[in-house]
A and B are shown apart, each in its own frame.
Chain A
Amino acid sequence: MKPCDLIVVGCSWGGLEALRGILGPLPDTYEIPVVAAQHRSPQAVPGHMASALEARISLPVREVEDKDTIRPGHVYIAPPDYHLLIEPGSFALSVDEKVQYSRPSIDVLFESAADAYRERLVAVILTGANKDGAAGFARVKKRGGTTIAQDPSTAERSQMPQAAIDTGAADMVLSLEEISDVLLRLSAVGASEGAGHVG
């Protein structure tokens, strides 16, 4: 597989469980930063989801603040009621209109990440009951990144991964365990082939 500098994940209904499923097996030495947009209520308590996830995986989890640097070995969560965008090496936030009825929107995260990281990006779309993320998924593929959809038959809600697969842009359609295995292998590839490469 291609070396990878960033992993972006989109999830909605049942997303916290699914995130735990793919990130739980990753060791605390895992280096590639992971950025997740999970749909939730605008009134969600800030920081709550980050601590709920952190309690169940080995990696530190942070809710993003504006212009935070993307650091290796961290999992980042989009804050409630903001869009999360990726710049090369850092984050930006916006309070623009909802996209696909969502803020944070997975499309917004994926599309901006695709522009900033191109072929060194892996995008993963998980369970959800809407179509957010499908356009962004296609954009990641068009920009040369790697696209992974959760097998809809294994998802708590199948619509979101199915919509992404229907764009024709999915490189892989996998269960949560298989996705986790792929992420683990990315790490090894990134460490050998990616060493010294300026991303």
Chain B
Amino acid sequence: MTSQSHGLHVVPSGTALGTDDVEEIEMDLLLEAIHRAYHIDFRNYARSSLKRRLWRRAHQENVETLSALQERVLRDPMCMERLLRDLSVNVTSMFRDPSFYRAFRTKVVPMLKTYPFLRVWHAGCSTGEEVYSIAILLREEGLLDRTRIYATDVNASVIDQARAGVFPLAKMREYTKNYMDAGGSSSFSDYYVTAYEGARFQQSLMENTVFAEHNLASDASFNEFNVIMCRNVMIYFAKPLQDHVHDLFYKSLGMFGVLALGHKESLKFSRHEESYEVLDPLEKLYRRIA
């Protein structure tokens, strides 16, 4: 029997899909494959930035198409490991956006000083640079001893890196400047020792810090916090996933708890906008009031 007798039609050659449309299909299939094989869902990520990251991995694996990347990802867990790193690790630095830390000192710290015990959630901590930054700030403000920091990320390998607290020596000049611009009250070099592998930060900074794997897309709230920091993480998410994460943060913040977002993020599209007051409109500091 021919296919025609089943009512099927051969696609005329003139209507073949363009390579661009094929790329879109390949991307959908790759994300579906990752979800089914590894139970990690990137289908709710912002498509434009995700596509760039997928292609970067494809080029580094020396494959020409996203289909070829899919085949490798399905058959080689190490390739998936590399891709996961590309997709989930955000570029960060110590005291990134010094003006944010200055605002945190003047507008959030005085409130925090009224509490006997503090819980801070650093969601999407990546390789840890900003966890050490906030720990240094809290120590200088006399708050670190009564603070527990929960630093979480979806990627287990970056959490190990964050826990180790070793950062490239070549970055210390930049970080020292950031630290001073951020209102640091001590000498930045007091916080680390130079080791052969880099600048190793004092482990005493992390005495009260819990590092853990946590997936903002699928894991639940796990405590009630005075501060939640999540800067430049949600920009990689599409709107529905952003909404989900805002729900999660709202549930996880105590009354008058503070939410810190990245410079170009906001609550303006969130259904919880009315439940927060703006502490600093440029630094994107919000306080839950309802």
Contact = CB atoms under 8 A, between A and B. Distances in A.
Interface residues of A, number: 24
A165 interface: no
Contacts of B262: 66
A181 interface: no
Contacts of B236: 94
Given A92-B235, A143-B20, A82 B91 contact: no
Contact of A97 (B46, B91, B263, B282): B91
B264 interface: yes
Contact of B263 (A46, A111, A115): A46
B266 interface: yes
Nearest to A87: B48
Given A67-B269, A95-B232, A108 B20 contact: no
Contacts of B265: 65-66
Measured as residues with beta carbon below 8 angstroms from the partner, the interface class of chain B is 20 to 34
A66 B235 contact: yes
Contact of B49 (A64, A94, A118): A94
B235 A93 contact: yes
A100 to B, nearest CB: 13
Contacts of B214: none
Contacts of A115: 20, 48, 51
Nearest to A83: B49
Interface in B28-55: 46-49, 51-53
A46 B264 CA distance: 9
Contacts of B51: 112, 115
B244 to A, nearest CB: 14
Interface in A62-108: 64-67, 79, 82-83, 85-87, 92-97, 108
Given A67-B242, A85-B46, A115-B51, A94 B264 contact: no
Interface in B243-284: 262-266, 268-269, 282
Query: Which 10 pairs from chain A and chain B are nearest by CB?
Result: A85-B48, A92-B46, A112-B48, A94-B49, A93-B235, A66-B235, A65-B264, A95-B232, A92-B48, A66-B265
A96 B20 contact: no
Interface in A22-69: 46, 64-67
